[in-house]
Structure 1
Amino acid sequence: MQFWRSRLRIFLSIMVGLIMAIALHACQGETNVANGDSNNTPSPKTNQTVATTKPSEQPPKAVKLPPATKAIVDRVANGLYNPPRGDVRLAVISDLNSAYGSTDYEPEVDKAIALLPFWQPDLVACSGDMVAGQYPSLTEEQMQAMWAAFDDHVASPLRKAKLPFGVTMGNHDASSAKSGSGKFLFARERDVATKYWNDPAHDPGVEFVDRFEFPFYYTFKYKDVFFLIWDGSSDLIPKDKLAWVEKALQSPEAKAAKIKILIGHLPLYAVTVGRDSAGEVMSNTEELRAMLERNQVHTYISGHHHGYYPAHKGKLQLLHMGVLGAGPRPYLGGRMPPRKSMTILDINFASPELTTYTTYDMRTMQPIKYDELPRSINGHNGMVLRRDLKMEDLSTSERTACEKQLGASLCSA
C-alpha cells in the first residue's frame, strides 16, 4: 500500500508541474503580444516580414518579403532602417537613365525597385529622366527599345505590385526645348513617349483628376493628397500651360486636399556643380514660386541636378532628388563626394511640417542625415536653405559670403 501511495504522489506532482508550465507559457505568450513582439518592430538583419500599418493602427499587418528584397535587406550593415509610417507614404525616385540610347540600367535602379516591398509605399513618384534620349541620331526603333527596357525594369514591376506611378517627363525622356521657329527639337521623342504612356497596357494606375495633356501636364489624387505634374523637361512653361496650372490648383479637388505636391524635372534653383546656369533651372523662378505659394503648393519635387538636397525658399518646400542612374553630382560649394540616393516621403496630416524625408545612400543603404549636407546652397539664381534651418540660423560669415557672390537681393530664404 505504501508503494502505491508513493507512486500516486509522484504522478500528482508531475501533473501539477505540467499544468503550471502550460499556464506559464500561455501567460508569456500574451505578454509578448502585448509588448509588440509580433513583428511590430522587425529586426532588419533577419527580416522576413515588415509591418505595414500606421502607428495608430493595431495590430500590425506583417508582409513576407520576396527573396530578392530579403537578400538586399540582409546585406545592410546594422539593418535597413524603416521610418515610422505616415498617413500616406511615397517612394520617390529620379534620373534613372544611363548613356544615350541605353537599354541597360544601373544596379541601383533595380535595387530601388526590389526594395519597395520593404517600405510598402502607397505610390511611387518619379521626377523624370526615365530613359536616355535627347540625342538627335536616335531612331524611333531605338527610342521604343529604351521605353521597353524601362517597362521591364521599372513600370511593369510596379503594375504587378498594383502601385500607382506618378511621373513627369525629363529632358532625356521628351524634351520640350524648341527651335527658333517654335518647333520641338525632339518632337519624335515626345511622340514616342506619348504613345508609350497612353497605351492602356502602360496605365500608371493613378486616380486622374485631369488628364489635360498627359503625360506632360495632368493632375491626380491619392486620398487627401493632390498632385500636379508639369512639363519641366526644359526651362520654360508656356503661358497657356501656366494658366492651366493655376486653374488646376484652384479646382475643387485641389482645394479639398490637405496637401498639394508639384512634380517636375528641372528645379527652381541650382544646387549642384555643372547645373548652375540658365537653362538648367526653371526660368522666371521667382514668378513661379510666387504663383505656387499663392496656390498653397506645399512641396515641389524635382530632378535633373543629380543631388539630394532638402531645401525651402519662402513658404515652398523644395525636394531636390538624388539620382539612381548615371552621374551623381557634387553640391555647389560643398565638399561631400557625390552619391546616388532615393527618398521615402511620409505625409503626416497632423504634423505642422506635413512631410518627413528618409533618404538613403544607395551604396550603404544608410539614411542621409541633414547635418551631412550643406547648410545653404548659393546658385546663380538664388540661395536655398536646408530644410531644417532658418535665415537666423546662418552665421554672419555665411550671409556675407552669399551676398558677395550673388548680391543681397538673392540671399534670402
Structure 2
Amino acid sequence: MRFRQFFPQIFFGITLALCLSFGLHACQSVKSPQIPVAVQPEETTVSQTQPQIVSQPSLPPETAAIVKSAGSEGLFNPKRGDVRLLAISDLNSAYGSTDYDPEVDKGMALIPFWQPDLVLCGGDMVAGQKASLSEKQIRAMWAAFDDHITAPLRRSKLPFGFTIGNHDASSSLGAKGNFIYQKERDLATEYWNNPKHDPGVQFVDRFEFPFYYTFEYKDIFFLVWDGSSSRIPKEKLEWVEKTLASSKAQAAKMRVLLGHLPLYGIAVGRNTPGNVMDDADGLRTMLERYKVHTYLSGHQHAYYPGHRGNLQLLHLGLLGSGPRPLIDSSPRRLKSLTVIDINFNSPELTTYTTYDIQTLKVLQYEQFPRFLAGHNGIVLRRDVELNELTSEEKSFCVNRLGSKLCGA
C-alpha cells in the first residue's frame, strides 16, 4: 500500500532524471547559435558626409617661408585660368654685375606657389650695354643668369619665353650702320643657341633666334621681335607681318607679342624718343590688323596695365635695380611681377594679378592713373575707355599732345 502511495512520485523522479541526462547530452552536442558582432570600421580623417579636399603639393621650404611672410591673410593666389603665365622683366643690376637683387631670387622662389605653365620675360636679363666689357665678363653674366633664372626653370621643366633687352644685346647702330654692341649680340646668340640652354618652348619658327622667333603654347601664338632699340629694320617688319598673317598665327585663339621697348612712354626718365618704339601708332595699327591681343614690354621700369585702341599694352614692372615712377603720378617706385591667367571663353581673355614683390600685396587698377599722356601718345588704364574720360582729363591730354595723339 505504501509503495503504491509513493509510486507516482518515484516514477516522476526517474523520468525527470532521464530527461535531465538526455538534455545535458543534447546541450553538449549542439552548438548554440552565433550572434553576429558588428565590426567597427577603421578610423578615417575624411568624413563620409564631406567631400575630400585635395591639397596642393607641399611647397619647398624657401617658398613656404616667403608665403608665410605675407602675413596672417596669406599670399593671394588667383583663380587659375585655362593657361597661366608668369611675366617678369628687367632683372639686371649695375653694368657687368653677376649678382642679382634679392627681389629677383624672391620672385623665382615663389614660382612653385603660382605653378605657371610658362614664364615670360620682357628683357634685360643681364647687365651689358657697355663697350668696355670683355668676353669673359659677358660670359660670366650669362652664367650668373643661368644659375639664378634658367637652370631652376629647366629643372622644373618650365618653358621660358623671352625677348632681348638693350642690356642683353642692344641693336643700336653706329654711324656706319653697324651694331655698336656686336660682341654682346654674338655672345647672347652663343648662350641661347647652346643646346644646354634650351628654353623649352615649342618653336614655330626660329628665324633669327634669340632676336626674332615664334613659339606656341595651347592655342596661344607668341611672336618675339628685337625691341632692344627703337627701330626694327624694314625686312624684319616684313617677316613680322607675314608671320602674323600666316594661317598658323590666325588659327590660334590668342596672339601675343613680346618686345623690350614699349610703344608709348609711361615712366619718368624713359618718356623720350629712343626709349619707345619708332612709329608707335603705325606699329599698333599693324598689330591690330592681325588681331594681336597683347604687347608685353619692359624697359620703362614701371608697371602699368594699359591699352590703346584694340591692343592691350602690359608694361611689366621690374625685379632688378632702378624702379621708376609713372609720369604725372606719385613718386612711388615699385618692383613687381605679374601672373596672367588666360580664359579662352572670357571676353577679356586675360586677367592680371600683379604683386609688389617687396610687400607681396596685390596691386589694384585703382592705384594707378586712369591714363598716361606720354610724349608720343595716350595710354589708357586697362579698365578705362576713351569715351569714359572726363572733359578735364581730355583737355589735359589735348593741351599737352594735341588731338591726334589723344585719340583711339
Q: What TM-score results when the alignment is normalised by the length of structure 1?
A: 0.88
Whole-Å Cα distance in 2 between the matches of residues 283 and 31 of structure 1? Answer: 64
Does residue 288 of structure 1 match 2:283? Answer: yes
Listed as ranges, the gaps of 5+ residues in structure 2 are 1-34
Report the AA paired with residue 168 of structure 1.
T
Q: Distance in 1 between matches of 2:133 and 2:287?
A: 36
Deviations 1:212-252 (A, max 9, x none): 00000000000100000000000000000000001111222
Q: Which runs of 4+ in 1 moved over 6 A?
A: 25-28
Equivalent runs, 1:48-197 vs 2, <5 Å: 62-77=56-71, 78-197=73-192
* Partner deviation per Cα, 1:163-216 (whole Å, 9 max, x = no partner): 000010000000000012110000000000000000000000000000000000
Distance 1:182 1:347 in 2: 41
Q: What is the correspondence of 1:205-224 to structure 2 with a 5 Å cutoff?
A: 205-224=200-219
Residues 211 and 27 (structure 1), Cα distance of their counterparts in 2 relative to 1, 3 Å cut = closer
Aligned position for 1:323: 318
Q: Which residue identity is paired with 2:282?
A: E
| CA radius of gyration, larger in | 2
Please tell me whether the aligned partners of residues 32 and 38 of structure 1 are also in contact (alpha carbons under 8 angstroms). Answer: no
Which residue, 32, 38, 41 being the options, matches 2:50?
32
Tell me the C-alpha RMSD between the 2 structures: 1.6
Kindly tell me the number of residue pairs found equivalent between the two proteins: 372
* Separation in 2, partners of 1:27, 1:245: 58
Counterpart pick for 2:338 among 336, 343, 347 = 343
C-alpha offsets along residues 33-80 of structure 1, whole Å, 9 cap, x if unaligned? Answer: 26xx433xxxxxxxxxxxxxxxxxxxxxx2221111111111112200
* Aligned counterparts of 2:81 and 2:104: Cα–Cα separation in 1: 24
Q: What is the distance in 2 between the residues matched to 1:247 and 1:263?
A: 17
- What CA distance in whole angstroms lies between the structure 2 residues aligned with 1:266 and 1:31? 56
The residue aligned with 2:231 is 236
TM-score (norm 2): 0.89
1:263-292 per-residue CA deviation (whole Å, 9 max, x = no partner) reads 000000011000011000000111100100
Give the whole-Å Cα distance in 2 for the aligned partners of 1:75 and 1:301: 30
Q: Deviations over 1:271-326 (max 9, x none)?
A: 10000110000001111001000011000000000111000001000000000000
Shift of 1:28: 6.2
User: What is the deviation of 1:412?
Assistant: 2.1
Change (3 A) 1:27 1:99: closer
Q: What fraction of aligned residue pairs are identical, expressed as a percent?
A: 59
Please state how far the C-alpha of 1:391 moved relative to its aligned partner: 1.4
SS of match in other structure, 1:232: coil
**Which amino acid in the other structure matches residue 127 of structure 2?**
A
Deviates more, 1:388-397 or 1:82-91: 388-397
Question: In 2, distance between residues paired with 1:239 and 1:169?
Answer: 19
2:403 corresponds to 1:408:
yes
Q: List gaps (5 residues or longer) in structure 1.
A: 1-11, 40-61
1:409 aligned partner, one-letter code: K
Within-5 A mapping of 1:264-275: 264-275=259-270
Report the equivalent of 1:247. Answer: 242
Greater mean deviation of Cα atoms: 400-409 or 224-233: 400-409
Q: Partner residue of 2:257?
A: 262
SS of residue in 1 equivalent to 2:227: coil
Counterpart of 1:196, as a letter, is: Y
Q: Summarize deviations over 1:60-104 as a string: whole Å, max 9, x none.
A: xx2221111111111112200110001111000000000000000
